[in-house]
Amino acid sequence: MMSDLIYLSELESHFHEASRVDIVCVGDSITGWNNIRSNEVRVQSGPFPTYPQFLQELMPELCVADCGVAGAFSKEGYDHTTICLGLFQNANYYIIGYGANDMAGVGNIPDIHERSQKIISNLEKIINKVLKKQKKPILLNVPKINGNRFPIATRLKANLERLDYNECLRDYCNQRQIPLVDIYSRLNDGHFADGIHPNEEGAGIIAQEVYRIFQLI
């Protein structure tokens, strides 16, 4: 029996469906849109596809919840994940993808390595909360930006930021024995719909990489 993807922004009118969720995807707009951060009209999906819909197609026997929120920072992830843990009490897996917005230059720590460590510190709080609830965390690293949309200096800076963060995240995951999905090395310029958001092909690749991790755990 095939399950339908559940969007967090729709859950208010389909609350009874929360109990059937197996996999919860939390993160920023690379995960999903679910624009529930303000009093504006709630939006289930944004202008570009995201990986949870393709993951649901790859795993039809399970139910996936898309709980990504556009514009979310890693420091917001703890409260957001706590809400999801309360809603989806039967879910066993939490796929966590934050960090891209932390590198956008708004209120961020200037030192690249210090910033990487701060993001991981925020993620650790989320992971510990997930583990305390006896759920299994899976992390996503941060993808490249679309080099065709930015000047060379911006591309170089963004790549340095992402390389440092992703290396720190890999080391952290190895130490904690937490599965890590490497989307940085899998997406290239042709996999983006704009400067930072994957297109349909890119979202499908992320889903395939997540699915591959599930085959190993």
How many Cβ atoms sit within 10 Å of the Cβ of residue 110? 7
Give me the number of domains the chain comprises: 1
Contact 199, 193 (CB under 8 A): yes
> Residue 37: what residue type?
R
Asked if the model's pLDDT at residue 166 lies above 60, the reply is: yes
Enumerate helices (H) and strands (E) in the chain, giving the number of each. Answer: 5, 6
* Rounded Cα distance, 48 and 73, in Å: 19
Is 27 among the domain residues?
yes
Is 1 among the domain residues?
no
**Residue carrying the six token digits 């969007």:** 7
Using pLDDT thresholds of 50, 70 and 90, give the confidence band for residue 195. very high
Mean pLDDT of the region 5-19: 83
Residue 109, domain CATH:
3.40.50.1110
Domain of residue 159, residue span: 6-216
Contact 195, 181 (CB under 8 A): no
Q: What is the pLDDT of residue 35?
A: 65
Mean pLDDT of the region 61-78: 95
Question: Interior CA angle at 86 toward 170 and 102, to 5°?
Answer: 35
Using pLDDT thresholds of 50, 70 and 90, give the confidence band for residue 109. low
